[in-house]
Amino acid sequence: MPEQSPDPFALFEQHFPRIEQAIGRTVRRRFLSEDEADEFTSFAHRKMLANGCAILGKFRGESRWTTFLTVVAQRLYLDFRDHCWGKWRPCARARRWGDAGILLDRLVHRDGFQVEEAIRILRDNHRLTHSRERLRRWAAELPFRGRPTRMGEESLQGFADSQRTDGPLLEEERQGELGRAYGILKQVLATLPSEDRVMVKMRYLDGLRVSEIARVLGLPQKPLYRRIAGNLVRLRASLEAKGIAAKDIAELF
């Protein structure tokens, strides 16, 4: 009889401490600020839990779990960076300087900070130990690129898509699908203990950080990461069992 593959959700719960360690190593290696670290942790959890924990299901025992999770966390960071930065890419010279150069290029040429402001952010928020003189020299050597801008809704009113006349109908169908998914989510949430239900709503519906939830509820912060992630595992499994598509689950959360 062939050996059964381990349940990926069970693997997530079993290896949660190792997952957090791998994420923590990536956070330190990439010099993320506290807010960025919290956003990346949430992003990594969502990606690992997506599609029935498909990422963890790829483990075949060809390496140690620690090595596997370290590689996964590094790749997820690259996805996270692309998610946050969109189509903006650091220049080749900044990439040669590593993460410090990429951050400097991002702050100056994407986010529009003055050089001295960018240096202060790098040293205070990201705890970079590079000297101010080196960072100033790097900033002077970076090629100038115009800062990308976002167009407001009023600027887009004249750009209607003339190729799609079925847009309103598709949107109505999509909203109907999401409405059904949200109704099932409410039913599944009702099966959780009241305190866990409040935590999930605060984290994924209200967008609060785990540190804020811990402060509001008067609970220790560290155990909440595993508790909230475990509840999310069970919610996703229940939603998938009721036929909710993965894209709808992702949009709900």
Residue segments in the chain with a per-residue pLDDT below the cut of 70: 1-9, 85-88, 111-112, 144-174, 205-206, 245-253
d(CA 225, CA 17) in angstroms, rounded, equals 10
Predicted confidence (pLDDT) per residue in 130-141, tens digit: 899 999 999 888
233 CB burial (10 A radius; 0-12, 13-18, 19+)? buried
Give the three-state DSSP class for 65: helix
Give residue for tokens 């994420």.
23
- Within 13 Å and on the Cβ side, how many CA atoms surround 32? 21
Domain boundaries of the chain, sorted by first residue: 1-87, 92-144, 175-252
For residue 18, give the nearest of 70, 75, 92 by alpha carbon: 70
**pLDDT > 70 fraction of the chain, expressed in percent and rounded:** 76
- Helices and strands counted in the chain (H then E): 14, 0
* One-letter amino acid of 66: T
CATH of segment(s) 175-252: 1.10.10.10
Whole-prediction pTM: 0.45
Are 72 and 57 contacting, i.e. CB atoms less than 8 angstroms apart? no
